[in-house]
Amino acid sequence: MKQKFDEPRVAINRVYTRLGDAGETSLAGGQRVPKDSRRIEAYGTVDELNAFVGLARETAAGDATVAELSAIMLRVQHELFNLGSILATLPEDVHPRQARVTEAEVSQLESEMDRANAGLPVLRSFVLPGGSRLNAELHICRTVCRRAERIVSALAREEPVPPEAVKYLNRLSDAFFVWSRWASYLSGAPETLWEPNRAASANIPSGGTLSE
C-alpha cells in the first residue's frame, strides 16, 4: 500500500527572522534548541547532502548516457527532504502523515543497486573518486552521506530516532558507490583503481630519500 504524506503548508515570504541571532533555532514542534545540537547537526548534514545530490543531478542531466541517474537523483532529493522533516521533529510531535523515509525507500535503493551492479565488472581493487565529474560528485555524495549516517546514529543513542532513518542513509551511501561506478560504465569513463605503489614513498631508492 502506498504511503501518502501531508502536502507542505508553508508560506515563505521573508527569509530572515532575527530569531536565530542568539545561536538557537526552532524544531518543527516549536522547541528552541542550540544550533549546534546533535539533532540540528543531523538534519543539517542531510540538507548538505541534498545540495550535493542536486549538483550531481544537474551534471547527469547534461549527459544523455546517464539521464536515468538524473531522475533517480531527483527522487533521492525528495526523500532526503522527507528525512530532514522527521529528524527536525521530536517523536511526540510527529503526525501520522508527516513526511519521512520508510522501508519502501530502502527497498527501492536495494533494487536499484542490484540492477546497476549486475552489469558492472568485478572490482579487483578499491576505486578512487574521479575519471569523470559525475563520478567524483557521486563519491562526494557518498562520503557526506556516511557522515550524516554517523551523526544520525549518534543522535539515536541519545534520543528516539526512527530506525528507518539510519537504515536509509546506510543503503543510500552504498547506492552512491554503485551509482558512481554505473555512471562511469554508462558514459565510458575510466575507473581510477587504487594502486598503493603510486605513492611517493614507492619512488624512494632503497636506503635513500627523494631529495638525494
SS3 category, 191: coil
Over the stretch 7-49, which tens digit does the pLDDT of each residue have? 766 656 666 566 665 676 665 555 676 676 888 999 899 999 9
Measured between alpha carbons, how far apart are the two ends of the chain, in Å? 70
**What whole-number distance in Å separates Cα of residue 127 and Cα of residue 113?**
17
**What whole-number distance in Å separates Cα of residue 142 and Cα of residue 134?**
12
Which residues of the chain form beta strands (DSSP E)? Answer: 24-26, 32-34, 127-128, 192-193
Is the model more confident about 34 or about 81?
81
**What whole-number distance in Å separates Cα of residue 124 and Cα of residue 119?**
15
Look at residue 140 and tell me whether its pLDDT is greater than 70: yes
| pTM score | 0.87
Q: Region 155-167: what's the mean pLDDT?
A: 94
**Residues 4, 57, 50: CA angle, nearest 5 degrees:** 60
Q: Region 65-70: what's the mean pLDDT?
A: 95
Give the closest residue to 45 by CA, choosing from 180, 116, 143. 143
**Helix-then-strand count for the chain, H and E:** 5, 4
Q: Region 51-67: what's the mean pLDDT?
A: 96
Share of the chain above pLDDT 70, in %: 82
101, three cell numbers: 523515509
pLDDT value, residue 37: 83
Look at residue 71 and tell me whether its pLDDT is greater than 70: yes
Share of the chain above pLDDT 90, in %: 62
115, three cell numbers: 540492477
Confidence of residue 89 (pLDDT cuts 50, 70, 90): confident
Q: Region 118-131: what's the mean pLDDT?
A: 92
Look at residue 211 and tell me whether its pLDDT is greater than 70: no
Confidence of residue 91 (pLDDT cuts 50, 70, 90): confident
Look at residue 118 and tell me whether its pLDDT is greater than 80: yes
